[in-house]
């Protein structure tokens, strides 16, 4: 059953809505767009949100609920979930599920505080969800089954209505479970950038590029293939005295790699001129891999982490992003040549995870130089100074159970796999200190839905002012964050590595 069964969405209307409201190109030249002003991070007010749905019942076309007047009005954005092909390189064309015929999906640009409607049309045979990552929106439109957001039925559609905020680099992606099915969830091509723009204040840059890091063609791999920041010679406060050495389960490896929809060398280079300031929006859209990224000969001036401006912008040689994280950085083009921006993991970069930066009138071989080993430290972007004491502290201990799910590892939070019974309770208005204790050797990117949090301590080093929605806890490390409970409703917390989330590494916070 095609989308003819979805009342109110003839294909012509879909195509029109898509092209009118999205910039399909992933690399755009934009003159000094609004970027640097991010307002309203602290001012919290529950936005009106609404979700309308109808379901096409296979074999029962007459059973669909009648569209409401609101539903007949034109949506601001339309996302169509359907199979797509992605030409990573001329001889490497893969099949996956994407949005509006592409993967990554279109860059969506919304205005902070201006309500939007988004129609999501599911042309696949399985229920789907679209999650708006990093937004402060109610659970019913957050796009998360555990928070009771309705699924988009197979061959049906849902209209999401919400008020986007806060301003900054956000993203949208599917939030379904995958388990042992590597054609579901974050293994598919269902992801894209979502830019929430604040009014006023042009940023000081000449052009803007969007770079989504991505692996393709996943397979189960007995070898752990991580890109974790093992150069961390720092303290490991959570390392157990006795390590569990039982046989670990299968993890996920990949055969192909790209930035956006092209493997390195297959797409157009990013053409720059000496003296230009390029604003890069980096997103790690991986289902499972933490990544270090470098551009030899250049430095990244980090302005924002997860879309939120940092108190102390710093220039660094290497960026480190876990799945779900974003970094906004300005790079000054002051080294003429042709350079590779890519992961410092040679196998993945050589298999496609890179993109070329080509200065005008330069036709050299693309250059790559491995960066010096460095330790990614969120605290250098923070400021000194202590936060007020929290109203309560919530300890969370994360452990791996090797082969706990048969072929795969399972994961526990405070000794239990999801779900937990009324264990993580919040009172509205309270300030909570969450102490994340990683008793495993992997780096885990932990994500809190519908809220942001402030990093207050990493392995004993204090900081303040770094606001994030996803944070990597280093192997055997500890990260403490403060969160204001100002978004009533169910709130999912999980590791953003799909396999970890699917096998226990999640918890639901509730407001009492
Ligand atoms: Cu994890």
Q: How far apart are CA 201 and CA 206, in angstroms?
A: 14
Cβ neighbours for 277, distance < 8 A, ≥ 6 positions apart: 204, 205, 206, 330, 331, 332, 333
Distance 469 CA to ligand 1 centre (A): 15
* pLDDT for the residue 224: 67
For residue 429, the Cα-to-chain-centroid distance in whole angstroms is 27
Q: How far apart are the CA of 189 and the centre of ligand 1, in A?
A: 20
Residue owning tokens 């906004």: 328
Tokens 């059953």 sit on residue: 1
Bond preceding residue 481 cis, omega within 30 of 0: no
Ligand 1 center to 500 CA (angstroms): 5
Distance 38 CA to ligand 1 centre (A): 30
Kindly give, in sequence order, each residue whose CB lies less than 8 Å from that of residue 273, ignoring residues fewer than 6 positions away: 333, 359, 360
- Between the CA of 249 and the centroid of ligand 1 the distance, in Å, is 14
Kind and range of the H or E run holding 14: helix 11-21
What is the widest separation between alpha-carbon atoms in the chain? 64
The CA 414 to ligand 1 mean position distance, Å, reads 14
Distance (angstroms) between ligand 1 centre and the Cα of 443 equals 7
- Which three-class secondary structure state does DSSP give residue 15? helix
Q: Give me ligand 1 centre to Cα 416, in Å.
A: 15
Measured in Å, residue 170 CA sits from the centre of ligand 1 at: 21
C-alpha of residue 111 to centroid of ligand 1, in Å: 32
State the distance from the centre of ligand 1 to the C-alpha of 501, rounded, in angstroms.
7
Give yes or no for a contact between 122 and 159, defined as CB atoms under 8 angstroms apart.
no
Name the token pair of 113. 């505080």
pLDDT tens digits in sequence order for the chain, 512 residues long: 333 333 322 222 222 222 222 333 333 333 333 333 333 332 223 334 555 544 433 333 333 333 444 556 899 999 999 999 999 999 999 999 999 999 999 999 999 999 999 999 999 999 999 999 999 999 999 999 999 999 999 999 999 999 999 999 999 999 999 999 999 999 999 999 999 999 776 678 999 999 999 999 999 998 766 666 555 557 899 999 988 889 999 999 999 999 999 999 999 999 999 999 999 999 999 999 999 999 999 999 999 999 999 999 999 999 999 999 999 999 999 999 999 999 999 999 999 999 999 999 998 899 999 999 888 999 999 999 878 899 999 999 999 999 999 999 999 999 999 999 889 999 999 999 999 999 999 999 999 999 999 999 999 999 999 999 999 999 999 999 999 999 999 999 999 999 999 999 999 999 99
Calculate how far, in angstroms, residue 201's C-alpha sits from the geometric centre of ligand 1.
Answer: 38
Residue 172 half-sphere exposure toward CB, CA atoms < 13 A:
29
In the reported structure, the alpha carbon of residue 119 is separated from the centroid of ligand 1 by a whole-number distance in angstroms of 31
What's the CA-to-centroid distance between 318 and ligand 1, angstroms?
22
Instruction: Return the pLDDT at 52.
Output: 56
Q: Report the separation in Å between the CA atom of 444 and the middle of ligand 1, taken as the mean of its atom positions.
A: 4
Residues 466, 379 contacting (CB under 8 angstroms): yes
- How far is residue 270 from each of residues 81, 259, 341, 345, 353, measured CA to CA in Å? 29, 12, 10, 21, 15
């Amino acid at each position: 059953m095609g989308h003819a069964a979805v009342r109110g969405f003839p294909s012509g209307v879909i195509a029109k809505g898509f092209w009118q409201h999205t910039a399909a190109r992933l690399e755009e030249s934009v003159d000094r767009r609004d970027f640097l002003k991010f307002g309203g991070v602290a001012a919290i007010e529950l936005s009106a949100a609404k979700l309308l749905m109808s379901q096409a019942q296979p074999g029962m076309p007459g059973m669909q609920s009648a569209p409401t007047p609101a539903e007949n009005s034109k949506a601001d954005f339309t996302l169509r979930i359907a199979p797509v092909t992605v030409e990573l390189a001329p001889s490497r064309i893969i099949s996956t599920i994407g949005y509006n015929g592409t993967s990554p999906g279109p860059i969506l640009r919304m205005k902070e505080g201006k309500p939007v409607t988004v129609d999501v049309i599911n042309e696949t045979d399985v229920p789907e969800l679209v999650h708006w990552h990093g937004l402060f929106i109610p659970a019913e439109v957050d796009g998360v089954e555990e928070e009771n957001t309705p699924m988009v039925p197979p061959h049906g559609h849902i209209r999401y209505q919400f008020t986007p905020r806060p301003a900054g680099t956000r993203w949208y992606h599917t939030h379904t479970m995958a388990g042992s099915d590597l054609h579901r969830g974050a293994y598919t091509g269902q992801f894209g950038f979502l830019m929430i723009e604040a009014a006023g204040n042009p940023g000081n840059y000449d052009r803007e590029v969007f770079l989504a890091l991505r692996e393709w063609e996943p397979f189960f791999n007995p070898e752990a293939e991580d890109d974790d920041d093992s150069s961390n010679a720092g303290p490991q406060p959570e390392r157990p005295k006795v390590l569990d050495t039982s046989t670990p389960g299968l993890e996920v490896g990949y055969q192909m790699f790209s930035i956006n929809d092209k493997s390195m060398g297959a797409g157009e280079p990013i053409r720059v001129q000496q003296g230009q300031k390029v604003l890069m929006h980096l997103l790690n859209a991986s289902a499972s891999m933490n990544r270090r990224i470098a551009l030899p000969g250049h430095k990244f001036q980090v302005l924002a982490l997860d879309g939120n401006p940092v108190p102390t912008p710093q220039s660094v040689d290497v960026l480190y992003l876990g799945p779900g994280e974003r970094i906004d950085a300005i790079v000054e083009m002051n080294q003429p040549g042709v350079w590779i921006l890519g992961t410092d993991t040679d196998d993945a970069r050589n298999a496609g995870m890179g993109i070329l930066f080509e200065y005008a009138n330069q036709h050299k071989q693309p250059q790559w130089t491995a960066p010096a080993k460095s330790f990614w430290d969120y605290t250098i972007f923070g400021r000194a100074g202590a936060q007020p004491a929290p109203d309560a502290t919530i300890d969370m201990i994360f452990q791996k159970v090797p082969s706990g799910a048969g072929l795969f590892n399972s994961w526990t939070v405070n000794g239990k796999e999801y779900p937990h019974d009324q264990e993580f309770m919040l009172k509205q208005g309270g300030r909570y200190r969450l102490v994340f204790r990683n008793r495993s050797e992997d780096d885990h990117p932990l994500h809190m839905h519908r809220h942001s949090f402030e990093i207050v301590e990493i392995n004993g080093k204090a900081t303040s002012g770094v606001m994030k929605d996803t944070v990597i806890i280093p192997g055997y490390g500890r990260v403490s964050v403060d969160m204001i409970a100002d978004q009533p409703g169910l709130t999912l917390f999980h590791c953003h590595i799909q396999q970890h989330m699917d096998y226990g590494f999640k918890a639901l916070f509730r407001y009492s």
